[in-house]
Amino acid sequence: MKISVAMGDGIGPEIMGAVLKIFEAVKVPLEFEQVAMGKQVALAGEPTGISAEAKSSVESTGILFKGPMETPKGGGYKSVNVTARKMWGTFANKRVYRSLPGVPTALGRPLSLTMVRENIEDTYGAIEHMQTHDVAQCRRLITRPGCEQVHRYTFEMAARKGAHRVTCGHKANIMKQTDGLFLEAFYAVAKDYPQLKADDVIVDALAMHLVTRPEQFDVIVLPNLQGDILTDLAAGLVGGLAYAPSANIGDEICIFEAVHGTAPDIVGRDLANPTALLLSGTMMLRHLGLSDHADLVELALEDTLQSMHARPDLREPLPVFSTSRFTEKMLSFLAVRPAPKGTARMPERMPRREPVMRVSPGPDRTLMRGLDVFLESALPPKVVAEHLMGIHDQLKLKMISNRGTQVWPTGSAFTDCINHYRVRFESDEGVSQRAQLAVLAACADRFTLCGCEWLREIDGRRGYSLAQGQA
């Protein structure tokens, strides 16, 4: 069976080379088709960092095994890692954390924990705009189909692995619409898995509990950005990102990768640790039905790590870790063990010609209540309100906020403001979009506009947030 392999940037070729040697030693029945992805492809003019040949290969094989890839900070091309995950619909990022023999940990006691991070929505849409020269905006998109998809995978995976508890991490106490939807979908899906305990924890409290008593958790599912942060925190509990494997799961394409960076400071110095990529590879082997091969590799890994960190004389420092020494020890352990039998199997895939549209059943009733207009002004809130009072018969000026805090009709003289206001117009009854556009045009006659959002009421529930301090 053929799979696609991208060597990666920085230390990627070193650690991927080591892993492929180990897989060859254990006689993994796979053919590795190397593809061009990463920094050099992006710099050559392909903005995705994914060559046409790589795209064709991955969409043919359904499996991408990749090394770390560089992402420029604050400019340049977008993350190749994120682009690949989103383009190929790998909606769930699964990370498995377990203590490994001989690896010093922050806890000093065994840990086994699985975390699932939603992988393609949230702020990772990277929909950003400069609203004024002082104000940058990022849109955070959370969808019901996306939430249901990652929650369904999480509960199915938890049931298969014999877990007892699934916990949803969130910030729905503050982000009541976005994280509120994520949490609502979690409990809706949980009803189909009564054998599993389902509960939720606010993400800041979850961070504390992960540091103090992580063993109380079994499986945790999180939105994308919060998941990105807390999965790295969990990696620190088992020795760092060098020991944290990752699988990006999609309906038709899956990506297996180490989540650490490209470590440009140690490139070519024989210091890179292949463990995370190797463990990501064993996750891939199990996904392809090669569990015996994965078990043998992990057994050899435990022996290797134990021997590399052993100190016969406590007065001497630990030996310096080296990629070549790690690989040699892995190969020597595998040389004395018979290679497993087995054939790779790929989960059934359905060919697609058009992008898939995922839509949940629609609401019974949706009312347009008004609109929020975002405008640029250095005028005081009271003066802004005077310019906008009475501009429409149906839609009345109800509230003005600055950075999310209400500054009109009530507020405090101590609230620091910037040159960016949200101005809310509402009606007690439903209004037409033509009326909303009329208000927008009237605002544009008076101020420079930065954007707008429609205010919807869906099945009797307000589909928009209140400002801080708004009743």
The full set of domain ranges for the chain reads 1-90+248-351, 106-237, 366-462
Query: What is each CA distance from 109 to 21, 166, 362, in whole angstroms?
Result: 32, 22, 49
8 Å CB contact between 403 and 418: yes
Measured distance CA(172)–CA(151) in Å, rounded: 16
Which of 3.40.718.10, 3.40.50.1110, 1.10.10.10, 3.40.220.10 is the CATH number of 1-90+248-351? 3.40.718.10
Report pLDDT for 313. 47
Q: Quick one: three-class SS letters along 304-335? A: HHHHHHCCCCCCCCCCCCCHHHHHHHHHHHHH
Measured distance CA(145)–CA(147) in Å, rounded: 5
Q: Which CATH number is associated with domain 366-462?
A: 3.30.70.1570
CB-based contacts of 86, cutoff 8 Å, min separation 6: 119, 120, 124
Report pLDDT for 3. 96
Query: What is each CA distance from 232 to 63, 107, 207, 245, in whole angstroms?
Result: 24, 15, 11, 11
Measured distance CA(264)–CA(261) in Å, rounded: 9
Place domain 106-237 in its CATH homologous superfamily. Answer: Isopropylmalate Dehydrogenase (3.40.718.10)
8 Å CB contact between 108 and 298: no
- What is the strand order of the sheet 31-34 is part of? 31-34, 2-6, 63-66, 254-258, 245-249, 92-98, 112-118, 219-222, 165-170, 197-202
Report pLDDT for 10. 95
Measured distance CA(277)–CA(265) in Å, rounded: 19
Report pLDDT for 33. 97
8 Å CB contact between 280 and 256: yes
Classify residue 448 by burial, with Cβ atoms within 10 Å: 0-12, 13-18, 19+. Answer: exposed
- Kindly report the pTM of this predicted structure: 0.86
pLDDT in tens, the chain (471 residues): 999 999 999 999 999 999 999 999 999 999 999 999 999 999 999 988 999 999 999 999 999 999 999 887 766 777 898 889 988 989 999 999 998 887 888 787 889 999 999 998 999 888 888 888 998 989 899 999 999 999 999 999 999 999 999 999 999 999 999 999 999 999 999 999 999 999 999 999 999 999 999 999 999 999 999 999 999 999 999 988 989 999 999 988 999 999 899 999 999 999 999 999 999 999 999 999 999 999 999 999 999 988 876 554 444 455 667 899 999 999 999 998 888 888 888 776 655 656 667 787 888 788 999 999 999 999 999 999 999 999 999 999 999 999 999 999 999 888 999 999 999 999 988 999 999 999 999 999 999 999 999 999 998 889 999 998 887
Report pLDDT for 318. 56
CB neighbours of residue 63 within 10 Å: 23
Report pLDDT for 310. 59
* Dihedral angle computed from the Cα positions of residues 276, 277, 280 and 281, in that order, rounded to the nearest 10 degrees: -140
CB-based contacts of 373, cutoff 8 Å, min separation 6: 422, 423, 424, 425, 439, 440, 443, 449, 452
Domain 1-90+248-351 and domain 366-462, same fold? Reply is: no
Measured distance CA(247)–CA(420) in Å, rounded: 41
8 Å CB contact between 83 and 274: no
8 Å CB contact between 266 and 272: yes
DSSP, collapsed to helix, strand or coil, labels residue 83 as helix
